[in-house]
């Protein structure tokens, strides 16, 4: 089985721009969770999608949003980028809601905001 | 709110020495705890979970509710154990991670 894939792997943007990141879960997995990883804050939960519905949300501003499609692929959008948004963005998929199954992580998208 | 603390950002041991990576948590309910590992240039992966009480790659972790701890231990460290280790607490569908401990096992 192919693992979780994330595209693009690297992105460079400037302040004020917006960005869309994509995550393809493992085939058959219906839950996708997103995390932000930074050296200072570690790994922080952004949100989880299951069956095209947001089920849980972390403490991030409204500039961070996401969606999930009928094939379980998920996108994350960050608008009006700030320097502090520079981070590794990880997505993880699981068969059921993340609270009931193991999460498998993708390689991440490295976002740099200049 | 739940919180996970890993007091050591860096830990360095010699090959063959015992290693213990500390993890403390705060949560008022019944915790579900995990250890994740990230080897260099590899993706984050689950190492073990407390409910299965398993030993993976020689590592074990015991949940101590009295001390609210879930320390990761291995009696004899190997060079290939060098990696970043994260302790995580799951509440519902949300994983709360500690800041991680970078373990280096020297030859």
pLDDT in tens, B33-69: 999 999 998 999 999 888 777 778 899 998 898 999 9
pLDDT at B34: 93
CA distance A91 to B75: 33
A105 touching B, CB under 8 A? yes
Please answer yes or no on whether A42 and B94 come within 8 Å at the CB atom. no
What does the buried/exposed string (b/e) look like for B73-92 if buried means 16 or more CB atoms within 10 Å of the residue's CB?
ebeebeeebbbebbbbbbbe
B51 touching A, CB under 8 A? no
Ranges A2-11, A29-38, A66-75, B84-93: which has the least confidence:
B84-93
Residue A49 · residue A97 · CB < 8 Å: no
Give yes or no for residue A100 having a pLDDT over 70.
no
- The pLDDT tens digits of the residues spanning A26-82 come to 999 999 999 999 987 889 999 999 999 999 899 999 999 999 999 999 999 999 999
pLDDT at A41: 82
Chain A hits for B43, CB-CB cut-off 8 Å, are 3-4, 105-108
Q: Is A2 helix (H, G, I), strand (E, B) or coil?
A: coil
Question: Confidence class of residue B107 from pLDDT cuts 50, 70 and 90?
Answer: very high
Cα A48 to Cα A112, B8, B9, B35, B96, distances in angstroms: 23, 29, 28, 20, 13
Arithmetic mean of pLDDT over chain A: 93
Give yes or no for residue B28 having a pLDDT over 90.
no
Q: How many CB pairs under 8 A join A and B?
A: 53
Please answer yes or no on whether B94 and A102 come within 8 Å at the CB atom. no
Cα dihedral: A67, A74, A34, B94 (round 10): 70
Please answer yes or no on whether B43 and A108 come within 8 Å at the CB atom. yes
Chain A hits for B88, CB-CB cut-off 8 Å, are 43
Which candidate in B42, B95, B100 is best for mutational testing of the A interface (most A CBs within 10 A)?
Answer: B95
pLDDT at B91: 83
Give mean pLDDT, residues B95-101.
92
Ranges A17-21, A79-83, A101-105, B74-78: which has the least confidence:
A101-105
CA distance A109 to A6: 7
């Amino acid at each position: 089985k192919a693992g979780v894939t994330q595209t693009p792997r690297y992105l460079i943007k400037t302040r004020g721009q917006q960005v869309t990141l994509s995550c393809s879960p493992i085939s058959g997995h219906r839950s996708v969770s997103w995390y932000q990883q930074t050296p200072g804050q570690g790994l922080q939960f952004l949100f989880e999608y299951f069956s095209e519905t947001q089920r849980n949300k972390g403490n991030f501003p409204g500039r961070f949003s996401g969606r999930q499609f009928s094939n379980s692929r998920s996108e994350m959008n960050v608008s009006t980028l700030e320097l502090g948004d520079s981070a590794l963005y990880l997505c993880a998929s699981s068969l059921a809601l993340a609270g009931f199954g193991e999460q498998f992580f993708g390689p991440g998208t490295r976002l740099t905001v200049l | 709110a739940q919180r996970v603390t890993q007091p050591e950002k860096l830990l360095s041991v010699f090959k063959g020495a015992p290693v213990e990576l500390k993890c403390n948590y705060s949560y008022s309910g019944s915790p579900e705890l995990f250890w994740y590992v990230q080897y260099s240039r590899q993706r984050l992966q689950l190492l073990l979970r407390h409910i299965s009480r398993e030993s993976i790659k020689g590592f074990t972790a015991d949940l101590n509710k009295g001390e609210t701890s879930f320390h990761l231990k291995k009696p004899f460290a190997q060079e290939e154990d060098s990696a970043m280790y994260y302790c995580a607490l799951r509440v519902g569908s949300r994983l709360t991670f500690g800041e991680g401990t970078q373990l280096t096992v020297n030859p």
